[in-house]
A and B are shown apart, each in its own frame.
Chain A
């Protein structure tokens, strides 16, 4: 029968009749756009690395060797899948997004069968081509972060789900809902749902979800991870444990500190990402970009990031200042209220060594220059608002008070639109606390995402400290179960200072923490079953 079919097929083909012949199937394509829908089933496997292959790949790179040393020799191989799934934007419109699914492989007992899931939220990315699934492509800006989560988690028996946020890779949203907690929690939850479906049709379907769910992330991802825990708890879903790391959790206090002159490294990049995000979500950040930004940079700044132009080019082309967030000729407040103006003028002045110490003052001072990003009128209005409607935690820190749960309250009724949005997205908002164990990892000298974020959350949740809520300061005197990691981080950082000098080392501080915090997260998860 088959031969007759072939003969007919040949005859039809010779005569040029279309529709003959066979082709391999490609799986199914979902027709609905419902949240959490996996688009292609089975998903695309983009890489298959054996444990020894992964170790060899990492050893071939200088940063990979130290990562391998820290994370340990891979026990499992790793299959990396690229998922497309449906989620929603802040305006509830259906959005196509993508994610990585990393599945442990190999003969070791801990590499197959029912395994726990780690969901990972990635850090701030300025390139819209960022794709955390593209692990073997060194040209992809996500490849280093991908390697860390593959080496730390997947190679040690954790299934990893890592979404690319909206605004990246295949997303056509046109911007990224940066530190929009509720929105990115939706993306994380939807990616997880799609990944759980994808797990059933991988090359290793015997590897399955054992029901344990761990959530972690770093930097922006630390914030989004905490927001995900908050949202999942509110939805009645259990997160076995979480480890948000070095995230800007206390957004309002953090932004107030920056406007008070404590300018962090990277602020000229974070600022447009935040204002664009909140303007899309709430429409109250500005009427026009020049309300916030100086005339040098205002035009087109709302479409700059994330984008395809490298940051270095944006700096060279004068689209963004590299460090000068504020005018080095500092403005003064003129409300006519003497007490307010006096207080504001002190906070608007250049950071002084007397106030912060020499090294911090030098760090903050780099955030002032000409041309500058944020216009003086807006900075004065923001600072005035932050004094009239203070963030209690930031004020306590300014006054060198020890933070307690009673003095970390948010501003009662901020008048500036951006502060209203920051308050809404601040993780103190909503009167909640983690119901399952949480580890907050970071370093108290982090010049990019200040450790005050962790300290404020720890103070807010002080009744749970040491039980449900745990803090790891990599820079503290080594003690307890994480002492080896603290020692290793401090040794690594001291090596950076010796090799590159204090200034260059400080620039790398935030990035240097990543693998240490992720290994701490893995160790922590291992204790919470």
Chain B
């Protein structure tokens, strides 16, 4: 089902893009800058592996980062958005017992992860292209790549030593809903709410001992931005 949605979204976006820019709009290109307020609804399985007490889990903290996007108008009611944020550093926190042995665990930041998470969305706008208010909904695909993974001192202590982290990239569906308010021919204000699905497997390597857990994020982001059309 997930693959079908992604294929459909990409296929439609490409088909519309190939048909050329919307002829009525003299400013079919749009760049946006703003803020991403990202909250990670994450669910993870307990960490498993050798020398791992039961009940150890992780959670991901919320972040705010820079939002950048390029939007191309395709027709009177369709546009495609390529959005990405400045790679935020998020912290994985221990979730489970207060201590592991005598080491604090629950709520402690055990790893920092920087990630790039570009999203391609095909969006439908509801009102006239000349309307000041343009509500829209969109569907698309999110690609998430974890580019900087560092264990914290507390994480290394509880893991048992210097630890490397692997988190394979993820491709998943994304949806959005929002509104654009145009106060001039070129300038506009945008607000939207987006949810994507990111699945990965966190694997740590401490002195050759591998531990892992499945992590499923539903990063839901509130975006506030200003845009410029050209």
User: Do A and B assemble together?
Assistant: yes
Residues of A within 8 A of B20 (CB): none
* Chain A binding surface, main DSSP class: mixed
Contact between chains at A134 and B51 (CB < 8 Å): yes
Contact between chains at B207 and A44 (CB < 8 Å): yes
Chain B proximity mask over A75-101: 1 for CB below 8 Å, otherwise 0: 001000110100000000000000000
The number of A-B residue pairs with CB atoms under 8 Å apart is 104
From B9-17, B31-39, B128-136, B148-156, give the one contacting chain A: B148-156
Q: How many residues on the A side are at the interface (Cβ–Cβ under 8 A)?
A: 36
Contact between chains at A10 and B164 (CB < 8 Å): no
Q: Is B172 located at the chain interface by the 8 A CB criterion?
A: no
Chain A proximity mask over B74-95: 1 for CB below 8 Å, otherwise 0: 0000000000101100000000
Give Cα A388–Cα B208 distance, bound, in whole angstroms. 55
Give Cα A24–Cα B167 distance, bound, in whole angstroms. 13
Contact between chains at A42 and B208 (CB < 8 Å): no
Q: Is A25 located at the chain interface by the 8 A CB criterion?
A: yes
Give Cα A133–Cα B207 distance, bound, in whole angstroms. 14
Chain A proximity mask over B197-212: 1 for CB below 8 Å, otherwise 0: 0000000011111000
Q: Is B103 located at the chain interface by the 8 A CB criterion?
A: yes
Within 8 A of A (CB), among B84-142: 84, 86-87, 99-103, 114, 116, 118
Give Cα A16–Cα B161 distance, bound, in whole angstroms. 31
Contact between chains at B102 and A26 (CB < 8 Å): no
Contact between chains at A10 and B163 (CB < 8 Å): no
Contact between chains at A44 and B116 (CB < 8 Å): no
Residues of B within 8 A of A40 (CB): 207-208
Using A46-B51, A48-B101, A134-B51 as known contacts, say yes or no to A82 and B209 having CB atoms under 8 A apart: yes
Contact residue among B102, B146, B150 (Cβ-Cβ distance under 8 Å from A49): B102
Residues of B within 8 A of A136 (CB): 53, 101
Q: Is B160 located at the chain interface by the 8 A CB criterion?
A: yes
Residues of B within 8 A of A203 (CB): 157, 161
Within 8 A of B (CB), among A8-47: 9-10, 13-14, 16, 20-27, 29, 39-40, 42-47
Contact between chains at B206 and A26 (CB < 8 Å): yes
Residues of B within 8 A of A24 (CB): 149-151, 156, 162-165
Give Cα A39–Cα B161 distance, bound, in whole angstroms. 14
Q: How large is the interface on B (under 10, 10 to 19, 20 to 34, 35 or more residues)?
A: 35 or more
Q: Is A53 located at the chain interface by the 8 A CB criterion?
A: yes
Residues of A within 8 A of B209 (CB): 44, 82
Chain B residue with minimal CB distance to A45? B160
Residues of A within 8 A of B216 (CB): none
Chain B proximity mask over A240-266: 1 for CB below 8 Å, otherwise 0: 000000000000000000000000000
Among B53, B84, B162, B209, residue most surrounded by chain A Cβ atoms (within 10 Å) = B162
Among B99, B162, B207, residue most surrounded by chain A Cβ atoms (within 10 Å) = B207
Among B99, B114, B146, residue most surrounded by chain A Cβ atoms (within 10 Å) = B114
19 contacts between A and B (CB under 8 A): A10-B86, A21-B146, A22-B147, A23-B164, A23-B166, A24-B151, A24-B163, A26-B164, A27-B162, A42-B161, A45-B161, A48-B101, A49-B102, A50-B101, A50-B102, A53-B101, A77-B102, A82-B207, A136-B101
Residues of B within 8 A of A (CB): 51, 53, 84, 86-87, 99-103, 114, 116, 118, 143, 145-151, 156-157, 160-166, 205-209
Residues of A within 8 A of B (CB): 6, 9-10, 13-14, 16, 20-27, 29, 39-40, 42-50, 53, 77, 81-82, 84, 133-134, 136-137, 203
